[in-house]
């Protein structure tokens, strides 16, 4: 295989810090030379062998580990790749990386450079690369499944199928242009192309009108804890997080800034934000706290209005009128009511006592159901990136232009389809996407 003229790169591919095992990855034409000088003799491809890892100049033993040789193109990057599986002590890793740095033709990898070389070798497309980055960052089961599906090509297959339909329709339009003198043929090919685009346009619209479920799953379902002062918002946040996240005090107005806790509810990422209590502000700092509370509530997917059962304030303040349609009323401190039980409540109100724990489990179950309903079924491919959404929207705009445009202006209708296909191609990198490469690969850590 002809190797790239680019330098051979190396980096720690496992997490930094002390561990049982650390993996150092080397990629490029010099990867085999690294094994020969530091951990020879070179074993057969893709076979893990035990070797002493030695300094390339002095021959000093640095560690005893496992060495794996992946000759290109059958490797992650498509280049020759070597992996050194070492003991994960910091001194061992530092010694090996220092030894690699003195070898001619080798340099430390930049963030995302291994994945970028895999993309340039055709091992991954851009959507799969972004899915791989999300898989590394996944914190919940739902995020893992979505990211793995994207990294495995589920979204790419969808967009490539749409692009194939566009190219088929464009081919019919071009054929009609070739037979422009024969009106019947031109009209027939345009009608056939239009039928393809009508089906495609419905699929694209359905894909876009998904309530942003993929993006919510990727970033987290946001819940804002709101309510009057001393309703127990900070105590509820601590109860949900099962740790002391927020300061709790009987003094009204303790919470001035927004405090967040990340939860894993049934495999779904949920971010709960504790906000300042809504009341007539007594100073500039408290007014700023309530301004931030209002902003957090407006950006939230769900708002919890928490109120004291002994002095219930079930009417939302005017500042939260815009979020009334996604607000869940929660009645706290039911343990202080006569008999310790809440009165009969409507279905849209949840009773609980943070102090005793009564009703907290039921609230968590309610939050899980609401988040799952909003995120929807994960079996169907979903948009996960703002970049993807904008390009699919651009595709839809050009499909609409084709369907609404005059069929007599055939050249313009062909251009509509070319632009739609170009937008889809930019998602996976099938066309020039140099302007987005640095942004995408910069998300990775050094060793990926």
68/71 Cα distance (integer angstroms): 10
Q: Which of 337, 354, 375 is the last residue of a domain?
A: 375
pLDDT in tens, 97-154: 999 999 999 999 999 999 999 999 999 999 999 999 999 999 999 999 999 999 999 9
Which of the residue ranges 114-123, 224-233, 269-278, 375-384 would you say has the lowest mean pLDDT? 375-384
362/354 Cα distance (integer angstroms): 12
Long-range contacts of range 195-202, CB-CB < 8 Å, 24 or more positions apart?
A: 196/165, 196/168, 196/169, 196/172, 197/165, 197/166, 197/169, 197/399, 197/402, 197/403, 197/417, 198/403, 199/165, 200/162, 200/165, 200/166, 200/169, 200/399, 201/396, 201/399, 201/400, 201/403
Compute the chain's Rg from CA coordinates.
29
The verdict on 388 and 417 lying in the same domain is: yes
Q: Which of 375, 403, 419 is the last residue of a domain?
A: 375
The verdict on 254 and 362 lying in the same domain is: yes
| Average pLDDT for 158-169 | 93
CATH of the domain at 13: 3.30.1360.120
Cβ atoms of residues 211 and 382 within 8 Å: no
Between the CA of residue 171 and those of 24, 100, 203, what are the distances in Å?
A: 49, 53, 20
**For residue 255, pLDDT beyond 60:** no
Q: Is residue 3 part of a domain?
A: no
Which of left, alpha, beta for 387 (phi over 0: left; psi -120 to 50: alpha)?
alpha
Can you give the pLDDT at residue 4? 53
**For residue 246, pLDDT beyond 70:** no
The verdict on 233 and 351 lying in the same domain is: yes
Task: Pick the more confident residue, 73 or 284.
Answer: 73
Can you give the pLDDT at residue 179? 58
Can you give the pLDDT at residue 245? 65
Query: Three-class SS of residue 161?
Result: helix
Domain count, the chain: 3
85/14 Cα distance (integer angstroms): 10
pLDDT in tens, 422-432: 999 999 987 75
pLDDT in tens, 212-222: 999 999 999 99
Q: What angle do CA 278, 221, 440 make, to 5 degrees?
A: 120
The verdict on 226 and 285 lying in the same domain is: yes
Q: Is residue 420 part of a domain?
A: yes
Query: What's the mean per-residue pLDDT of the chain?
Result: 87
**For residue 447, pLDDT beyond 90:** no
Expressed as residue numbers, the domain containing 13 is 8-109
The verdict on 77 and 137 lying in the same domain is: no
Task: Pick the more confident residue, 257 or 268.
Answer: 268
Q: What angle do CA 346, 216, 201 make, to 5 degrees?
A: 105
**Which residues have a Cβ under 8 Å from the Cβ of 422 and sit 6 or more positions away?**
431
Q: Is residue 119 part of a domain?
A: no
Q: Which of 375, 392, 426 is the last residue of a domain?
A: 375
Task: Pick the more confident residue, 167 or 185.
Answer: 167
Can you give the pLDDT at residue 313? 85
pTM to 2 decimal places:
0.81
């Amino acid at each position: 295989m002809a190797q790239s003229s680019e330098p051979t790169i190396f980096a720690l591919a496992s997490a930094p810090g002390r561990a049982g095992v650390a993996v150092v990855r080397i990629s490029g034409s010099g990867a085999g030379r690294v094994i020969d000088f530091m951990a020879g003799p070179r074993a057969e491809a893709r076979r893990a062998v035990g070797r002493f890892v030695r300094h390339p100049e002095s021959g000093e033993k640095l560690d005893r580990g496992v060495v794996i040789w992946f000759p290109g193109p059958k490797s992650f990057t498509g280049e020759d790749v070597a992996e050194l599986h070492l003991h994960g002590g910091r001194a061992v890793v530092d010694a090996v990386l220092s030894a690699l740095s003195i070898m001619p033709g080798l340099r430390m990898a930049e963030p995302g450079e291994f994945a970028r070389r895999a993309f340039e070798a055709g091992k991954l497309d851009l959507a799969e690369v972004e899915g791989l980055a999300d898989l590394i960052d996944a914190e919940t089961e739902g995020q893992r499944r979505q990211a793995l599906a994207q990294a495995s090509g589920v979204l790419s297959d969808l967009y490539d199928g749409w692009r194939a339909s566009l190219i088929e329709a464009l081919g019919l339009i071009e054929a009609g242009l070739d037979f422009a003198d024969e009106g019947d043929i031109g009209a027939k090919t345009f009608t056939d192309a239009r039928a393809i685009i009508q089906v495609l346009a419905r699929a694209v619209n359905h894909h876009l009108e998904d309530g942003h479920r993929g993006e919510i799953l990727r970033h987290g379902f946001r819940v804002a804890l709101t309510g009057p002062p001393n309703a127990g918002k900070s105590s509820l946040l601590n109860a949900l997080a099962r740790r002391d996240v927020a300061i709790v005090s009987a003094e009204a107005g303790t919470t001035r800034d927004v405090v967040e806790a990340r939860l894993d509810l049934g495999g779904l990422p949920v971010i709960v934000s504790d906000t300042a209590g809504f009341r007539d502000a007594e100073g500039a700092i408290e007014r700023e706290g309530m301004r931030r509370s209002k902003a957090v509530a407006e950006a939230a997917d769900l708002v919890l209005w928490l109120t004291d059962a002994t002095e219930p304030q079930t009417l939302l303040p005017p500042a939260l009128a815009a979020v009334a349609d996604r607000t869940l009323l929660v009645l706290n401190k039911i343990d202080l009511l006569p008999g310790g039980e809440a009165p009969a409540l409507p279905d849209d109100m949840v009773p609980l006592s943070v102090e005793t724990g009564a009703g907290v489990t039921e609230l968590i179950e309610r939050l899980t159901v609401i988040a799952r309903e909003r995120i929807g079924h994960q079996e169907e491919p979903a948009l996960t990136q703002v970049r993807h959404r904008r390009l699919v929207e651009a595709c839809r705009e050009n499909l609409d232009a084709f369907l609404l445009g005059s069929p007599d202006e055939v050249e313009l209708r062909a251009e509509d389809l070319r632009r739609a296909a170009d937008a889809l191609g930019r998602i996976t990198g099938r066309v020039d996407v140099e302007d987005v490469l640095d942004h995408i690969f910069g998300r990775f850590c050094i060793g990926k």
